[in-house]
Structure 1
Amino acid sequence: MTDLPLLGVALPTSALETMQDFILSENRDLELQDFFDADLLNGDWKPVADRARALLSGHAGRLGIHGPFWGLSIASPDPDMRALNARKFMQGLEVCEYLGATQMVIHSPYSTWDFNNLDNFPDRSAYERMLEYCHLTMDPVVKRAEEIGVTMVVENIQDKDPDIRRILADSFASPAMAVSIDTGHAHYAHGSTGAPPVDYYVRRAGNRLEHVHLQDADGYADRHWAIGEGTICWPAVFRALGEVTSKPRLILELRDKAGILPSVGYLNRLGLAR
């Protein structure tokens, strides 16, 4: 069943050695999880990057990183915070350039509060302000990403509206901005805030979708469980993914890395992925 989608994985460099054969044997996509750490980015991150490069020698799959996100917003109304946020994302892009990574995950600025309140005005001004703040922060970052061939993918966090990140990405009119879906975050929004189910998020992203975090959950919290441990309807998710032609990276992002191989086995037994 080699025509099934090939699963990738999100790992810190410290876990690469134990997963080396799994990744290199089929050149699976990889997302490195080290470089959202502020202490690492503000210090000497190159030894970690060099270790990753050494362990990935010969890797021909697609490489990405999870960019910085703790305490950051790509839509801050404060100009001082915008400058800080832009600098942190530039640090992430510096890592991408050094590693030859072509994708960086960033977080959506939209919250559940936004879903309930952005329409609480007589016009579209609240939506327009959010986009304006995003552009004031991210325009120079997007320009730099274009220069080095990196696509930033905007991951849903609290997003209840499955369209809003696609609209944000489209507003940049750039190949350096695209859409990410985290299945567990979407399932949390579905179960706890009344958002659509996960497969709807996939369909609404369409061919702007270039990255997926695969994790199972219960619709209550951000579990990052192994696939099959939660209540996501995986056949529906993969049917929707089968309609997308943008070839998104399908990245297993699990809290317990021991669940990676069982998750691959579970999806393979269902005939959904390998």
Structure 2
Amino acid sequence: MSHDLPVLGAALSLDMLARHRDWVLGAQRDLELQSFCWPNTPEQDFPEMIARAKTLLDGHTGRRGLHGPFQSFSIDCADPEIAAVIQRRMIRTLEICEELGADQMVIHSPYGIWNGADDAVKPSAAIMRIERVRFVLSPVIKRAEAAGITLVLENCEDQDAGARVALARALKSPNVKVSLDTGHAYFMHRIGKAPPVDAFVYAAGAMLEHVHLQDMDGQADRHWHPGEGEIHWHAVFKALRSVPKMPRLILEVNDELAVTKGAEWLAAQGLAL
């Protein structure tokens, strides 16, 4: 049955890609580059970074994505001056996607415990949140559509497994879908009364096009290798097999030297390659 198993990809910095390039290219694994999303990276460094990325990607035929900017803001921003900064940074990252042949960009969900609880008792708050996101993302979505790039909304502090799915649908673009971070989902299951990780998969269904695979213990955003924490991986992969199309499965771990450890564990479980 191994030929039916999904092939794992990985979220890597350029330095990590250089270290694990043979593993990535050996199976033409999907990639998510994470060197272009940090606010402390000077924009004048981008041309050199892009040139290095192109060299490292030579011979890679797998699918590619980038993690979009996310720190210090939320996409439901109400301040038009700050929204302009968010839009500029996201559109710049989309331009880098084009330069590197990437067709997917990860952005973060605006939902958390506080606003989720608020939305539950103030229906108008939930509507206004969607409209603020629409205001912020409209030029970004337009640019993504023109470039053939899909934006995927990743859960962070989401307590409601379906909220960002409904948000993605409300934006009414074929280029807006959903991402799942397994560790984030489990954290909110442990501390925020969210459903278990597999329920996030079922809630997303056909909208799910990207998954960050990381394990944790419910105490912090650990980004451990699958198999090192408490997530029920067989249940997660059973749910993944139920969606119409297997999403990109991207290992996202805090281990620059041993990125493949979780992949080897999942392979030993008969869940992925």
What stretches of structure 2 of length at least 5 have no aligned partner?
Answer: none
- Who is 1:128 aligned against? 127
Q: Which amino acid aligns with 1:174?
A: S
Could you say what secondary structure the match of 1:40 adopts? coil
2:6–2:246 Cα contact (<8 Å) kept: no
Give the residue type in structure 1 aligned to 2:48.
Answer: P
- Distance between the aligned counterparts of 1:261 and 1:254, measured in 2? 10
User: Which residue in 2 is equivalent to 1:137?
Assistant: 136
CA contact (8 A) 1:202 1:209 kept: yes
Contact map agreement 1:41 1:91 (CA 8 A) in 2? no
Partners of 2:220 and 2:10 in 1: how far apart? 21
SS at match of 1:57: coil
Kindly report structure 1 stretches of 4+ aligned residues shifted beyond 3 Å. none
1:155 aligns with 2:154: yes
TM-score (norm 1): 0.97
Partners of 1:262 and 1:177 in 2: CA distance: 32
Deviation track 1:18-57 (CA, whole Å, cap 9, x = no partner) reads 2111111111000001011123363230211111111111
Q: What TM-score do you get using the length of structure 2 for normalisation?
A: 0.97
Could you list the per-position Cα deviations for residues 236-255 of structure 1 after superposition, in whole angstroms to 9, with x for gaps in the alignment?
A: 00000001123311000001
Q: Which residue of 1 aligns with 2:252?
A: 253
SS of equivalent to 2:194: coil
* Distance in 2 (alpha carbons) for counterparts of 1:111 and 1:126: 13
CA distance in 2, matches of 1:46, 1:176: 27
Structure 1 match to 2:80: 79
Please give the alpha-carbon distance, in whole angstroms, between the structure 1 residues aligned to 2:256 and 2:60. 20
Unaligned ranges ≥5, structure 1: none
Counterpart for residue 221 of structure 2? 222
Q: Is the alpha carbon distance of 1:79 and 1:36 closer, same or farther for their aligned partners in structure 2, counting shifts above 3 Å?
A: same
The alignment-based identity, stated in percent, is 47
AA partner of residue 2 (structure 1): H
Match in the other structure for 1:107: 108
Query: 1:51 aligns to what?
Result: 52
In the other structure, the counterpart of 2:24 is 23
Partners of 1:92 and 1:59 in 2: CA distance? 20
User: Using the alignment, how far apart are the partners of 1:237 and 1:41 within structure 2?
Assistant: 38
**Equivalent residue for 1:240?**
239
Counterpart AA for 2:17: L
Q: Which residue is equivalent to 1:88?
A: 89
Q: What amino acid is the match of 2:147?
A: I
Aligned residues: 272
Q: Report what 1:191 is aligned to.
A: 190
SS in 2 for 1:31: strand
Output the CA distance in 1 between the equivalents of 2:77 and 2:260. Answer: 39
SS at match of 1:118: helix
Task: Assess, with a 3 A threshold, how the Cα gap between structure 1 residues 119 and 272 changes in structure 2: closer, same or farther.
Answer: same
Partner of 1:210: 209
Indicate the residue corresponding to 1:3 in structure 2. 4
Q: CA deviation at 1:223?
A: 0.5
Give distance in 1, aligned partners of 2:30 and 2:272: 14
CA distance in 2, matches of 1:226, 1:109: 26
